[in-house]
């Protein structure tokens, strides 16, 4: 996936399945990253301190599917 159009299609597909999707820059504005695992990261939401996890893709890097807990 190299083109801007390919990235936009992938993002739209993720949004259709999981709702909100973030790039790295967008995600770090909303969340503090506490750690990374295989295909997910542990985060703390900046707005209310709620901890949870986000899934992510590698190429291109998108974060999605916030789950509290």
pLDDT higher than threshold 70 for residue 1 = no
Number of domains present in the structure of the chain: 1
- Give the pLDDT score at 3: 87
Q: Buried b vs exposed e over 44-59: b needs ≥16 C-beta within 10 Å?
A: eeeeeeeebbbebeee
pLDDT tens per residue, range 4-32: 999 999 999 999 999 999 999 999 999 99
Q: What is the pTM of this model?
A: 0.90
At 68, list the tokens.
């509290």
In degrees, rounded to 5, the angle at the alpha carbon of residue 41 between the alpha carbons of residues 56 and 15 is 30
pLDDT tens per residue, range 34-57: 999 999 999 999 999 999 999 999
Domain of residue 28, residue span: 4-68
pLDDT higher than threshold 80 for residue 2 = no
Question: Counting beta carbons within 10 angstroms of the beta carbon of residue 40, is it exposed (0 to 12), middle (13 to 18) or buried (19 or more)?
Answer: middle
């Amino acid at each position: 996936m190299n083109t801007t159009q390919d990235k936009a299609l992938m993002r739209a597909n993720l949004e259709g399945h999981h709702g909100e999707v973030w790039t790295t820059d967008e995600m770090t504005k909303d969340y503090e990253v506490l750690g990374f695992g295989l295909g997910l990261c542990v985060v703390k939401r900046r707005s209310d301190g709620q901890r949870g996890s986000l899934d992510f893709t590698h190429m291109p890097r998108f974060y999605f599917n916030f789950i509290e807990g």
